Structure 1
Amino acid sequence: MTTPTFFVTMKRSFADVPIEAGKVSTTEFLEAAESLVSLFDLLASAAFTVVQMDMNGNIKKIRDRQLANPVISATLQDIVLSEKVDKNKTATQGLLWLTRGLQLTAVALRKNIESTEELNESFTKAYNETLIKFHNMVVRPVFKLAMKACPYRKDFYAKLGNDYEAVKEQLLTWLAALERIVKIIQDFYDSGKYGKGL
Structure 2
Amino acid sequence: MARYTGPKTKKARALGEAIYGADKSFERKKYPPGQHGNGRRRKQKSDYALQLMEKQKAKYTYGVLERQFRNLFERANSGSGVTGEELLRLLESRLDNTVFRLGLAPTRRAARQLVTHRHITVNGVITNIPSCSLRPGDTVAVRGKSQGMEVVRDAVAAKSDIRKFAWLEFNPDTMQGKFLEYPEREQIPEKINEQLIVELYSK
Q: Which has the higher strand share?
A: 2
TM-score normalized by the length of structure 2: 0.33
Larger Rg computed on CA atoms: 2
- TM-score with structure 1 length normalisation? 0.33
